[in-house]
């Protein structure tokens, strides 16, 4: 069996140096996040952003919802990939990081393509649902305790053939280490089992970043 290689920071840098160039503001966000210490881990990896950009471009996904934006790296990356008629709606409860993200969106001149709503994701998903909004891609990257709720609500907001991408599903690899029985690892395991048993979607767990599940609404 072929073993996947481990992507450390060096390799991640090599990948970005040998893929297409990052937008200057993507580089600025990475620099900003690196200055924040441990919390920088909130940001998705460069490789993961490339993957999502490729999906958006190749499937011409237009309406995108992001749950959990932090300082804006994933949202900016997606906004750079959508065509002119594409639009990203983001929700994050943290006003401070959202203000920083908005500054970066403006700097990249893509603020006309992104609406970042500051508020509780559950509340905002309910509002979007009441308005019968539909999305081609929903990216879930907020509090893991609510992942199952976000997943169920996202399914209802998804166009047919639309995609849900969920971050951190391999939880540093701990999900497969049965000596790890802490609360967060179990929450992610329960979530993965929940998605596995959902016959309404096709799903693939990919070992990118901290592990992503891609679900396609059948
Ligand atoms: C892992 S970070 C998102 C990282 C981002 N996707 C990126 O690539 O930079 C998770 C974010 O979810 C937000 N969050 C956590 N719980 C939330 C909730 N209940 N409602 C809305 N946002 C929430 C946090 O404020 C945080 O910014």
Confidence of residue 7 (pLDDT cuts 50, 70, 90): confident
Contacts of 207 (CB under 8 A, 6+ apart): 4, 170
The yes-or-no verdict on residue 195 having pLDDT over 90 is yes
Q: Any idea which of 7-11, 116-120, 191-195, 196-200 has the lowest mean pLDDT?
A: 7-11
Residue 3 in domain:
no
Residue 113 in domain:
yes
Residue of 193, 88, 91, 194 whose CA lies nearest to 149: 194
Provide the pLDDT for residue 8.
86
Average pLDDT over residues 7-32: 92
Residue 62 in domain:
yes
Provide the pLDDT for residue 16.
84
Per the structure, the complete domain to which residue 117 belongs is given by 9-217
Mean pLDDT across the chain: 96
Residue 2 in domain:
no
Q: How far, in Å, from the CA of 2 to the mean position of ligand 1?
A: 34
**Taking CB atoms and a 6 Å cutoff, what residues make up the pocket around ligand 1?**
42-44, 68-71, 73-74, 91-94, 97, 120-121, 141-143
The yes-or-no verdict on residue 62 having pLDDT over 80 is yes
Mutation choice for ligand 1 from 42, 49, 68, 187, CB with most ligand atoms inside 8 A: 68
Residue 57 in domain:
yes
Residue 4 in domain:
no
pTM greater than the 0.85 cutoff = yes
| Tens-place pLDDT, residues 90-131 | 999 999 999 999 999 999 999 999 999 999 999 999 999 999
| More confidently predicted of 12 and 103 | 103
Mutation choice for ligand 1 from 41, 93, 117, CB with most ligand atoms inside 8 A: 93
The yes-or-no verdict on residue 65 having pLDDT over 70 is yes
Confidence of residue 144 (pLDDT cuts 50, 70, 90): very high
Q: At which residue do the structure tokens 């237009």 appear?
A: 62
**Domain count of the chain?**
1
Residue 30 in domain:
yes
Provide the pLDDT for residue 6.
84
Q: What angle do CA 45, 70, 198 make, to 5 degrees?
A: 70
CATH code, domain with 207: 3.40.50.150
Report the alpha-carbon distance of residue 67 to residue 145 in Å, rounded: 13
Confidence of residue 2 (pLDDT cuts 50, 70, 90): low
Residue 49 in domain:
yes
């Amino acid at each position: 069996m072929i073993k996947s290689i481990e992507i450390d920071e060096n390799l991640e840098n090599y990948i970005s140096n040998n893929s297409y160039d990052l937008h200057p503001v993507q580089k600025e966000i990475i620099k900003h996040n690196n200055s924040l210490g441990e919390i920088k881990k909130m940001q998705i990896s460069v490789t993961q952003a490339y993957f999502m950009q490729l999906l958006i471009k190749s499937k011409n996904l237009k309406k995108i919802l992001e749950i959990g934006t932090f300082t804006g790296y994933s949202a900016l990356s997606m906004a750079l990939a959508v065509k002119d008629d594409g639009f990203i709606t983001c929700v994050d409860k943290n006003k401070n990081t959202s203000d920083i993200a908005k500054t970066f969106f403006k700097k990249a001149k893509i603020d006309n393509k992104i609406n970042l709503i500051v508020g509780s994701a559950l509340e905002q998903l309910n509002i979007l649902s009441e308005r019968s909004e539909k999305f081609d891609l929903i990216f879930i990257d907020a509090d893991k305790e609510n992942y199952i709720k976000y997943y169920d609500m996202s399914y209802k907001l998804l166009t047919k053939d639309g995609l849900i991408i969920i971050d951190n599903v391999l939880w540093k690899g701990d999900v497969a280490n049965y000596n790890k029985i802490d609360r967060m690892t179990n929450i992610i395991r329960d979530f993965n089992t929940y998605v596995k048993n959902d016959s309404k979607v096709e799903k693939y767990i990919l070992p990118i970043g901290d592990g992503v599940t891609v679900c396609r609404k059948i």
